[in-house]
Structure 1
């Protein structure tokens, strides 16, 4: 299995559809990176990822609006197609397994404070339980359960 993780902002509001009795939330995430080219000029590259989240848990849909920053994780897929001018094209898409809300844009375009309520179908404490600080280090326990 190939796993892909993206942090970015939604390009438009999500769409909730019903396909063969199952719900799917479709949205597009833009991930931008800034870098310097070989001449030292500042450049920006944006990658758009089309996301399909097949779930019965559509309660997150009202929060997936344009400008919202999200973390999405899932399986990448590349779709190939023929453009209207006859040339070949490709698009990056993802079959989403997990969505977490990170924040939204405040009015005026400035980022708002991160939202405290993230959404994750697996576990909402995944990131916090996996992260530990150096100060939390303790001696190994010899009483292993196996």
Structure 2
């Protein structure tokens, strides 16, 4: 089994479709790495991951909006294609098993890191949404 985990921001609002009677939530996650090149200059590299979340739990869809930071986990797939100019291309896609909302830009309440965690859309968890107070009650300090 190959598993891929990505933390990044949604590039645009998700789209919910029905294919052969099954619901799929499609969205794109941008993961940006910052590094220094051999000359010591700061560089950024962004990798875009097309995500397909096949689920009946579409209640998470309204929260999957442009700019939202998410954690996604699933099975990676590389898709090959031919561009209009005849050159070969490839894209990275992910068949999502789990989605967790990590926050939005401007959600900083205190120090660093994620300030709230929305309910997980994992298959193992119930579909009942958790409130921010429920999350705070689970903190070990």
Unaligned stretches of 5+ residues in structure 2 = 110-114, 127-139
The answer as to whether partners of 2:27 and 2:52 remain within 8 angstroms in 1 is yes
- The CA distance in 1 between the partners of 2:80 and 2:108, in whole Å, is 37
Q: Which residue of 2 aligns with 1:69?
A: 69
- The CA distance in 2 between the partners of 1:29 and 1:93, in whole Å, is 10
Q: What does the per-residue CA deviation read over 1:26-63, in whole Å, with 9 as the maximum and x for residues that have no partner?
A: 00000001000000000000000000000000000000
- The CA distance in 1 between the partners of 2:48 and 2:108, in whole Å, is 22
TM-superposed deviation, 1:105: 1.7
Q: Which residue of 2 aligns with 1:86?
A: 86
Q: Which residue of 1 aligns with 2:133?
A: none
Cα 1:118–1:112 change in 2 (3 A) is farther
TM-superposed deviation, 1:119: 1.4
The answer as to whether partners of 1:102 and 1:118 remain within 8 angstroms in 2 is no
Correspondences of 1:1-146 after superposition (within 5 Å)? 1-106=1-106, 112-113=108-109, 114-121=115-122, 122-123=124-125
- The CA distance in 2 between the partners of 1:66 and 1:44, in whole Å, is 20
SS in 2 for 1:40: coil
Cα 1:115–1:27 change in 2 (3 A) is same
- The CA distance in 1 between the partners of 2:94 and 2:121, in whole Å, is 16
C-alpha root-mean-square deviation of aligned residues, in Å? 1.8
TM-superposed deviation, 1:97: 0.0
Off by >4 Å, runs of 4+ in structure 1: none
- The CA distance in 2 between the partners of 1:119 and 1:54, in whole Å, is 15
